[in-house]
């Protein structure tokens, strides 16, 4: 959570929320332990089911941003990778190995790239795929953390032996080692000259309707003397983890200055929920934005620049490296032009009439949010230099 100025100050947490957080963390740890027991018994499929339940508990809003949740999520992803490796031993599959790499990348994104078990398991998967040079690179990072780790040294020796016999895979078919996006997919590559397109699918439309309803609830319930300027929508991010599944994290004061925004984005990026999110929605009321003033700096669709409303900006994880056809003859990715995919809407505040058939508080002059307006691509609150994803 964020205060007005960095470093961000924690909000006061009520006792009921604290109890809820403790319960969610305890259930997540219990599911992880159950998964570990299934793994020990060789029941890897059941182990992964428990690991998924553990991650679900960690999405609870009461615990989602805690250090404990991040530490546990890091271990769960690494253990999930171990279970997939064990499954691969009995039923070889390149798809399973790709999933091993994905879970290791998610674990490493949370841990800052220093989780030795995840590095080792990723190295194992790359070796099994014949990607010995990439495996050596990953294992070298593990050795820099634990220089006396014999398992890592042995696996590195095996990879070096395979390279000595000329067994390296075709670089053009190498696994994209840097693509650690939480959604698991690469999406479309967007170049500097191409439009970044995000469709108004059911997920986006559902979030826009959600924000309208929240605004109406605040309008209807808030006393007339609470906010003379009208109802509010709290500044927050919504983390989408599948259809209809969202986690919410408040970010008060995030748009007060460039420094506050950088601090807020850095906090979100460091959390386990950002590594696994399919999309991240940023929601902020216009009157709470002191930076960036996009309605002054770029083309604005409304004549009244002072008109209040709510920004909703969606970010999808973009591809991290060029596709194989954009590699040079040595298999090295060319200069990266891919951008994080995003789109921004503005929902203006309107007065008069009815909204959604609800009876609104008369002192609020029937204030509600109107139709969402898709903004110009340059009207972006968080640009690609401040990625929300690890």
Task: Identify the pLDDT of residue 173.
Answer: 40
So what's the pLDDT on residue 229? 53
The structure's pTM equals 0.54
- Whether residue 142 is predicted with pLDDT greater than 80 in this model: the reply is yes
pLDDT (tens digit per residue) in 187-216: 332 223 333 344 455 567 888 888 888 877
Q: Can the peptide bond before residue 7 be classed as cis, meaning omega within 30 degrees of 0?
A: yes
Q: Report pLDDT for 49.
A: 94
Sole residue written with tokens 């679900």:
56
* Res 30: pLDDT: 95
What mean pLDDT is predicted for residues 119-147? 92
Residue 362: which residues within 8 A CB-CB, separation 6 or more? none
Q: Give which of 246, 212, 265 is closest to 381, Cα–Cα.
A: 265
pLDDT of 264 over the 60 cut: yes
Q: What's the rounded mean pLDDT across residues 61-71?
A: 78
Average pLDDT of the chain is 75
DSSP state at residue 315? E
Rounded CA-CA distance 322/275 in Å is: 20
| pLDDT 10s digits, 307-342 | 899 999 998 886 544 344 444 444 433 333 334 478
Please report the DSSP string for 339-380 in residue order.
Answer: --EEEEEEEEEE-SS-BTTBPPPGGGTT-EE---EEPPTT--
The residue with greater pLDDT, 166 or 139, is 139
Q: In angstroms, rounded to a whole number, what is the distance separating the alpha carbons of residues 99 and 386? A: 27
Q: What is the pLDDT, as a whole number, of residue 318? A: 64
Neighbouring C-alpha atoms within 13 Å toward the C-beta of 351: 10
Q: Is the pLDDT of residue 223 over 70?
A: no
Q: Are 304 and 351 in contact (CB under 8 A)?
A: no
* Across 50-59, 100-109, 140-149, 269-278, least confident range: 269-278
Judged by average pLDDT, the poorest of 147-156, 227-236, 307-316 is: 227-236
Between 5 and 120, the more confident residue is 120
The residue among 341 and 172 whose pLDDT is bigger is 341
**Residue 18: is its pLDDT beyond 80?**
no
Distance CA 59, CA 11 (A): 19
User: Which tokens in the block code for residue 112?
Assistant: 């800052």
Reply yes or no on whether the pLDDT at 297 is more than 80: no
């Amino acid at each position: 959570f964020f205060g007005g100025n960095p470093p961000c100050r924690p909000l006061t947490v009520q006792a009921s929320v604290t109890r809820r957080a403790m319960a969610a963390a305890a259930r997540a740890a219990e599911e992880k332990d159950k998964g570990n027991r299934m793994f020990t018994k060789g029941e890897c499929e059941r182990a992964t089911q428990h690991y998924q339940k553990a991650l679900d508990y960690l999405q609870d809003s009461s615990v989602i941003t805690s250090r404990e949740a991040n530490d546990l999520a890091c271990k769960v992803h690494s253990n999930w990778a171990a279970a997939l490796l064990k499954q691969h031993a009995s039923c070889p599959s390149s798809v399973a190995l790709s999933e091993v790499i994905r879970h290791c990348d998610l674990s490493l994104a949370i841990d800052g790239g220093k989780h030795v078990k995840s590095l080792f398991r990723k190295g194992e998967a790359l070796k099994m795929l014949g990607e010995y040079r990439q495996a050596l690179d990953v294992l070298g990072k593990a050795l820099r953390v634990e220089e006396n780790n014999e398992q890592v040294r042995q696996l590195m020796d095996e990879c070096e032996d395979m390279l000595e016999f000329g067994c390296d895979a075709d670089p053009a078919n190498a696994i994209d080692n840097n693509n650690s996006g939480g959604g698991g997919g690469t999406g479309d590559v967007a170049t500097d000259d191409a439009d970044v397109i995000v469709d108004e699918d059911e997920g986006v439309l559902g979030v826009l309707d959600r924000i309208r309803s929240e605004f109406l609830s605040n309008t209807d319930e808030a006393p007339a003397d609470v906010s003379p300027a009208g109802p509010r929508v709290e500044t927050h991010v919504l983390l989408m983890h599948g259809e209809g599944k969202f986690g919410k994290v408040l970010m008060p004061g995030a748009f007060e200055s460039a420094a506050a925004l950088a601090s807020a984005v850095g906090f979100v990026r460091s959390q386990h929920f950002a590594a696994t999110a399919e999309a991240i929605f940023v929601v902020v009321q216009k009157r709470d934005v002191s930076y960036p003033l996009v309605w002054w700096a770029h083309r604005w669709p409304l004549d009244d620049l002072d008109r209040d409303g709510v920004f909703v900006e969606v970010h999808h994880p973009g591809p991290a490296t060029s596709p194989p056809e954009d590699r040079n003859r040595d298999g090295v990715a060319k200069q990266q032009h891919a951008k994080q995919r995003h789109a921004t809407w503005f929902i203006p505040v309107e007065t008069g009439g009815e909204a959604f058939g609800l009876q609104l508080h008369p002192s609020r002059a029937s204030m509600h949010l109107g139709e969402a307006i898709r903004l110009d691509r340059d009207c972006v609150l968080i640009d690609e230099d401040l990625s929300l994803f690890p």
